[in-house]
Amino acid sequence: NAGVMQNPRHLVRRRGQEARLRCSPMKGHSHVYWYRQLPEEGLKFMVYLQKENIIDESGMPKERFSAEFPKEGPSILRIQQVVRGDSAAYFCASSPSGHRTLKTQYFGPGTRLLVL
């Protein structure tokens, strides 16, 4: 059973370009979470999605960032017009459906975004 898959593992973009980060949850998991980690810091929640629904996007910046989890295919975190401050590691996690309060989140290896 493959774990959470993220690609690319490393992404380099110039200021003003778009970054697309993909996440495939573990088999059987229908809940996806995106977190951002700045150097030497802990992870910060960005968004929580279920298939075709954004459940909680309270951690998403108001502009340039968007996320989706379509019925088919991976979840996508999209950053438009990237700036140097977007450089960070972006982690995706997934969890199974079921009791809402006791689900362990399983993390992918992350995508390290560098904005030049």
Cβ atoms < 10 Å from Cβ of 35: 20
31 interacts with other proteins by CB under 8 A: yes
CB of 19 to other proteins, least distance (A): 19
Cβ atoms < 10 Å from Cβ of 88: 20
- For other proteins, which residue of 2, 58, 62, 71 counts as binding (CB under 8 A)? 58
- For other proteins, which residue of 16, 18, 41, 52 counts as binding (CB under 8 A)? 41
- For other proteins, which residue of 8, 15, 18, 44 counts as binding (CB under 8 A)? 44
- Determine whether 71 is exposed, middle or buried from the number of CB atoms within 10 Å of its CB (0-12, 13-18, 19+): exposed
